[in-house]
């Protein structure tokens, strides 16, 4: 029990957790062997069979004891206001995670964890670069705890959280595996890695005539080319996007299954990427900037009309501007960015600030006015000479979207107008704790 205040029950992780943590001492020894292989080989060569067996008799129980003690002294508890995680045998550490600062709660199930029937709970928290996690919990326990944390973070009263349970979800999009595979083949990075794997080893052989040198170069290049593409395919396999009152849920993964949530009201920017070789098929990728969260992809590949329908759920009342609505910079901007200036475009609507850049790989960023934290105008000496300037909008995800090479007078007007639009937008925005009421309609968990 946690002392002080109301009684709160502390809970332990799943009993399979010590098996995971027991690998830590073994990993230290393996790291030393990789760091200094010659010294490791010399030390092993000096060991007799008896000494080696004695060493194993010490290391294996010590690793098992470490895993057990680290599990035994790890507890967590959910209070009305925070999640507490207490760890440490000699040096005690207690993490206090405020529920209102939780951005997202993801459930991940690596392959071995799926076999064991357990899952890992990862939390995106404002102000932390690294995710806090609870590993491992039983699958049912992990989902129940995730639902409880999201319900409390959403503003439900503590006494009703257990009744709320996990909100129902409705499937919106399921990305076919064939589309994922074809999209990876139509990306320049895939062909670049494959070309390197094919071209570089023969050149090394011609230059050195050394088989070992050629293999030392070829194996990492071929392995990297294959595992990179295969890894991206496995990570995006069976990508399913569903809608629930908690937000948009993402389920994905071939070997390691991941269950992520994009919380409502916390999306700072929507980014639409259109590689050159995707245009004939009408495909785009939809990415996100979410404050305090590492969830950055909403759809790995989708037809444009499907992507726009999903974006309409992320940014209600915001339509994706058509290409004709994006105004290019004036022609004199070509003196500041030859060729590239033709890929720049900008427009502003009642709901979003939209900026595009890129010729071969087009990228369109949409920032809701309510999410703009600051607006800046920059203009160096050369751009001042040609009467153009850049307007930057900064968001709560520590990212910036820029309308590049705008006419200087237009940029000055945009600077003042955007500041007003941002203030108005924040006044009508939905609160972060979206079940507590406030401006904007709140979702209903009942359906």
Sheet holding 82-87, edge to edge: 75-78, 82-87, 93-98
Q: State mean pLDDT over 28-35.
A: 65
Long-range contacts of 159-167 (CB under 8 A, 24+ apart): 164/445, 167/244, 167/245, 167/246, 167/445
Question: Which stretches of 209-244 are DSSP H helices?
Answer: 211-236
Q: What percent of the chain has pLDDT over 90?
A: 36
Residue pair 253/177 in contact by the 8 Å Cβ criterion:
no
Q: What percent of the chain has pLDDT over 70?
A: 82
How far, in Å, CA of 374 to CA of 282, rounded? 34
Sheet holding 283-290, edge to edge: 297-303, 283-290, 267-274, 362-368, 352-357, 345-348
User: 14-23: per-residue pLDDT in tens?
Assistant: 888 877 766 6
On the question of pLDDT at 4 being above 90, the answer is: no
Model confidence band, residue 110 (pLDDT cutoffs 50, 70, 90)? confident
How far, in Å, CA of 102 to CA of 361, rounded? 34
On the question of pLDDT at 81 being above 90, the answer is: no
Residue pair 11/79 in contact by the 8 Å Cβ criterion:
no
SS3 content of the chain, % helix, strand, coil (to 5): 45, 30, 30
Residue pair 353/367 in contact by the 8 Å Cβ criterion:
yes
On the question of pLDDT at 403 being above 90, the answer is: yes
Q: Which CA distances in Å does 113 have to 14, 27, 354, 402, 417?
A: 11, 19, 42, 43, 52
Mean pLDDT of the chain: 83
Q: Which CA distances in Å does 156 have to 35, 151, 231?
A: 51, 6, 39
**Least confident segment among 264-273, 407-416, 418-427:** 418-427
Given this model, what pLDDT does residue 445 score?
Answer: 44
On the question of pLDDT at 185 being above 50, the answer is: yes
Given this model, what pLDDT does residue 204 score?
Answer: 84
Given this model, what pLDDT does residue 447 score?
Answer: 38
How far, in Å, CA of 375 to CA of 389, rounded? 13
User: Using only C-alpha atoms, what is the Rg of the chain?
Assistant: 27
On the question of pLDDT at 102 being above 90, the answer is: no
Q: State mean pLDDT over 217-246.
A: 85
16-32 burial, b at 16+ Cβ within 10 Å, e below that, comes to bbbbbbbeebeeeeeee
Nearest residue to 267 (alpha-carbon basis) of 298, 245, 240: 298
How far, in Å, CA of 105 to CA of 32, rounded? 35
Given this model, what pLDDT does residue 337 score?
Answer: 94
On the question of pLDDT at 5 being above 90, the answer is: no
pTM of the entire predicted model: 0.78
């Amino acid at each position: 029990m946690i002392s002080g205040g109301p009684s709160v029950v502390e809970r332990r992780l799943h009993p399979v957790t010590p098996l995971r943590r027991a690998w830590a001492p073994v990993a230290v020894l393996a790291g030393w062997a990789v760091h200094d292989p010659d010294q490791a080989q010399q030390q092993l060569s000096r060991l007799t069979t008896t000494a080696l067996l004695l060493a194993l008799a010490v290391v294996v129980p010590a690793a098992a004891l470490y895993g057990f003690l680290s599990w035994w002294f790890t507890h967590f508890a959910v209070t009305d206001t925070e999640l507490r995680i207490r760890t440490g045998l000699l040096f005690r550490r207690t993490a206090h995670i405020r529920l209102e600062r939780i951005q997202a709660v993801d459930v991940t199930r690596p392959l071995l964890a799926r076999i064991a029937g357990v899952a890992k709970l990862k939390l995106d928290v404002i102000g932390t670069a690294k995710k806090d996690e609870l590993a491992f919990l039983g699958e049912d326990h992990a989902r129940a705890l995730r639902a409880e944390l999201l319900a409390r973070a959403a503003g439900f009263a503590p006494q009703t959280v257990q009744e709320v349970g996990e909100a129902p979800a409705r499937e919106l999009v399921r990305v076919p595996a064939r589309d994922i595979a074809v999209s990876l083949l139509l990306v320049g990075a895939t062909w670049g890695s494959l070309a390197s794997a094919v071209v570089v080893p023969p050149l090394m052989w011609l230059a050195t005539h050394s088989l070992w040198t050629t293999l030392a170069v070829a194996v990492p290049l071929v392995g990297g080319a294959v595992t990179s593409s295969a890894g991206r395919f496995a990570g995006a396999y069976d990508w399913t996007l569903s809608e629930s009152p908690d937000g948009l849920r993402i389920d994905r993964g071939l070997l390691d299954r991941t269950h992520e949530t994009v919380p409502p009201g916390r999306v700072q920017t929507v980014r639409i990427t259109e590689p050159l070789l995707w245009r004939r098929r009408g495909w785009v990728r939809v990415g996100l900037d979410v404050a305090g969260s590492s969830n950055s992809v909403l759809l790995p590949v989708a037809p444009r009309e499907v992507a726009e329908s999903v974006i309409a759920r992320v940014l209600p009342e915001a339509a994706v501007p058509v290409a004709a609505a994006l105004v290019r910079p004036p022609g004199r901007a070509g003196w500041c960015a030859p060729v590239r200036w033709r890929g720049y475009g900008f427009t502003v609507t009642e709901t979003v600030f939209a900026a595009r850049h890129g010729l071969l790989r087009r990228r369109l960023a949409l920032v809701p006015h309510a999410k703009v934290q600051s607006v800046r105008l920059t203009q160096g000496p050369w751009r001042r000479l040609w009467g153009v300037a850049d307007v930057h909008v900064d968001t709560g995800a520590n990212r910036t979207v820029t309308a590049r090479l705008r006419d200087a007078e237009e940029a000055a007007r945009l600077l003042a107008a955007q500041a007003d639009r941002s203030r108005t937008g924040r006044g009508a925005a939905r609160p972060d704790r979206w079940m507590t009421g406030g401006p904007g309609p709140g979702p209903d968990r009942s359906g």
